[in-house]
Structure 1
Amino acid sequence: MSSRPVYVPILKGKEGEFAALEELAGDVRTALMPVIETPAIPFDHAVGKPAKSLTEHVSGIPDRLKRSCGRRPFFLDLSSLDNGVRLDHGGNVSAGILSGCSNAELDVVPVILTSSTQEHLTAVANHHLSTGSALAVRLVVEDFREEVETDSEVDRIIARLGLPEATSADLIIDLKDLGSDLGRATLIARSILSMIPRKHEWRNIILAAASFPEDLSDVNAESTSLLPRLEWQLWKALQRKPASLPRRDLIFGDYSIAHPVTKELDPRKMRMSASIRYTTADDWLILKARNVRQYGFDQYFELCRLLTERPEYAGRDFSWGDRYISDCVEGTQGPGNATTWRKVGVNHHLTLVLEQIANSHREP
């Protein structure tokens, strides 16, 4: 990693998120460093089995990463595939993907969890030795429970990777879903931050959290709602007392416009509604229409019109996503599909959050 990132969003390795990264303005993409979570093999509910083999699923991952990230650095979390299942030729999944990334000359920083298998640790250690790449350790709330020896767990990982200390590694503290109680979340965050192992060794420490709901079923159809961005409010609360932080150079991370856990749903039974997830200063603005099976994707034209008439709309020149919204209103873009609107929402979100962080750094 050539420079310290300003922002670390955690993104699902799916087409909408990949495409959102591709459309970021150059200065925005340079300043952020995403954690990309490789998805599990999709399931074909019609035939009752995985849609493809493991080998087929992972074979295209390095190429897709190259198209979305180019030579810019990114974290890669392979935990959804780190389950002991091997590729068709008997190879290890992590080793195969990291080898493909190396061959594609990608600046990948592999992520390790306390639950990572020995095979994954070996693959990451070998990748580090052969490429000189940085590494990242990702700790979650459960890693800080009273009965867990967090320091010992981290020491074990560092030793297994063959590192003399943690100076060539980043630490990701992932609080995941904060729930609805900001006060409780703040107490938990402060407690965990006080227990960080080797806090002065890590090259960077990232604090990530989420508060977007699992789905929008609690939002009424044909309505406009505001959902609070509690992770951003938590970040601001922590920054107001910098002396209580383990380090002054903490880096902000979030889950963009998604919940940390991805539901595996049967598309035949889904009743997806047309909706736009639009990030504002302290909230997500949710504009929701009716289900697309019955009323179609053309509902997005009206949602875009409603959004552009609201004061929260940032203007067509703010991001690629905002330009797409404006073009829909003008009739020069089609209504797209669910992937299109994930791309639009994520692209706008990443641009806005980076601007917020930059502005907060300029405040006295």
Structure 2
Amino acid sequence: MFDSKYYVPILKWKRGEQKALEFLSDQHKERLTPLIEIVPIPYDYANDRPQKAIDDHLKDIGNQLSTSWGKEKPIFLDLYWLDDSERLKDDRHPLEFIRSEASQKGINLIPVTGTTRSDDYNEAVKEAYIQDKLGVCIRLEDEDFLDIDSALEDLLEQLCVKPEQVDLVIDFKYTSPSDERKNILSMVSVINSIANINVWRNLILCCSAFPENMSGLPNDIITPIPRTEWITWKALVNTKKIRRMPVFGDYCIGSPGYVEMDPRIMNMTANVRYTVENDWLIAKGKSIKKHGGEQYYALCQGLTRHPQYCGHAFSWADQVIFDCAKRKCGPGNAETWRRVGTNHHLSFVVEQLSSFPVI
């Protein structure tokens, strides 16, 4: 069972996030368990079709998990974004294939499911539970909150598991910074509505206030965006009416949704996302197509001068920011800075939780 200072980040399984996890210190890895979302097959917009088959999309998954995680303790795996109809050429379910590839590398996976998943998906989850005996993660969201007990009862029966073997994720997805009090009341209400709340192996609360895009933020300055999920979780700690305090979870430096844009029309803006006590600091530049990637030097210089910069020794990411500010390395690209922002965020939240006076 996770303690109250544990952390469950939700990571979309792309190269930036994979490297961010790989470069995380072992000390920090010990204090978190990532929930990994396998992203959809990239789309070939020019030819109006998927870029590859599911076999090719997943072919290196075992090596990716081993290189990025490399720990004996399990991680959560969710195929939320894959089409339910996807099957490999040998007709295996993608979950079965990923489990097999991960097992060969010594990586243990706890499958994640929910009330909207297909019978085939849940059958694969059930088979994973029977074979691996690692339990199951159930992720509740939106419409599930109307009648949680009924939703859970049906799913437990389908999976043939008991609450003691289940990690329960309450996922509020996007939470607006302007609705802080309403968010707290809703979360307390949902958690308190769960029968036998203390029986579940773990109770995890996830949400994010990170915007889907940053088009409304000004250029060439550092703008703070409130980390509403963290502010809300801190408030929950002090809420005497909550029946069980959940483990903290978030979506790191991204929004809960998944948006894939046509690269032919995409106009990316240089930005570095940096997590601090109650905010993300967004150092935003201009269009990369028009102004190039060297903008990242100035963005990093601004961050290293900021009073809440943690210093180059804080994490792998902070060293990269420091080196970029000094022009000791190249400016990188969007993937580089997703890697850097995610690595710093993971490190920061682990440290933040470890020093938080949770009872």
Q: TM-score range by the shorter chain?
A: over 0.9
Residue number in structure 1 paired with 2:23: 23
Cross-structure match for 1:219: 217
**Which residue identity is paired with 2:248?**
F
Q: 1:93 to 1:8 in 2, by over 3 A?
A: same
1:35 shift after superposition: 0.5
- How far does the alpha carbon of each residue in 1:46-103 deviate from its partner, in whole angstroms, 9 at most, with x for none? 2221111122112222221121111242110112225123222222222222222223
- CA distance in structure 1 between the aligned counterparts of 2:103 and 2:3, rounded to whole angstroms: 20
**For the residues of structure 1 that align with 2:82 and 2:63, how far apart are their CA atoms?**
18
Contact 2:5 2:356 (8 Å CA) reproduced: no
| C-alpha contact (below 8 Å) 1:5/1:33 kept by paired residues | no
Divergent runs of 4+, >3 A = 1-5
**2:244 equivalent in structure 1:** 247
Q: CA deviation at 1:7?
A: 0.3
1:36 partnered with 2:36 = yes
Summarize the Cα distance change of 1:276–1:327 in structure 2 as closer, same or farther, 3 Å threshold: same
* 1:288 maps to which of 278, 281, 284: 284
Aligned residues: 357
Query: In the alignment, which residue of structure 2 is the partner of 1:135?
Result: 136
Moved more, 120-129 or 339-348: 120-129
- Structure 1 residue identity aligned to 2:275: T
Q: Match for residue 309 of structure 2?
A: 313
Q: Is 1:65–2:65 an aligned residue pair?
A: yes
Question: SS of the residue aligned with 1:167?
Answer: helix
TM-score scaled by length of structure 2: 0.95
Paired position in structure 1 for 2:188: 190
Is 1:82–1:93's contact at 8 Å kept on the other side of the alignment? no
SS at match of 1:79: coil
Are the aligned partners of 2:253 and 2:345 in contact in 1 as well (CA < 8 Å)?
yes
Secondary structure of 1:185's match?
A: helix
User: Aligned match of 1:298 in 281, 294, 297?
Assistant: 294
CA distance in 1, matches of 2:285, 2:236: 37
- Amino-acid identity (%): 38
CA offsets, 1:82-141, max 9 Å, x none? Answer: 512322222222222222222332121110111111111111111122121221100013
8 A Cα contact 1:22 1:68, kept in partner: yes
Letter in 2 for 1:287: A
The answer to whether 1:175 aligns with 2:172 is yes
RMSD: 1.7
Change (3 A) 1:183 1:2: closer
Contact preservation (8 Å) 2:41, 2:50? yes
Residue ranges of structure 2 left out of the alignment (5+ in a row): none
- The answer to which of 185-194 and 308-317 deviates more is 185-194
> In 2, Cα distance between the equivalents of 1:131 and 1:341?
36
Letter in 2 for 1:23: F
Q: CA deviation at 1:5?
A: 7.4
Give the alignment partner of residue 322 of structure 2, picking from 302, 322, 326. 326
For the residues of structure 2 that align with 1:130 and 1:30, how far apart are their CA atoms? 25
Please point out which of 265, 269, 281 is paired with 2:265: 269
Q: Which amino acid aligns with 2:29?
A: R
* Rounded Cα–Cα distance in structure 1 between residues aligned with 2:99 and 2:28: 26
- For residue 82 of structure 2, what is the aligned residue in structure 1? 81
Tell me, what secondary structure is at the counterpart of 1:268? coil
Unaligned runs of 5+ in 1: none
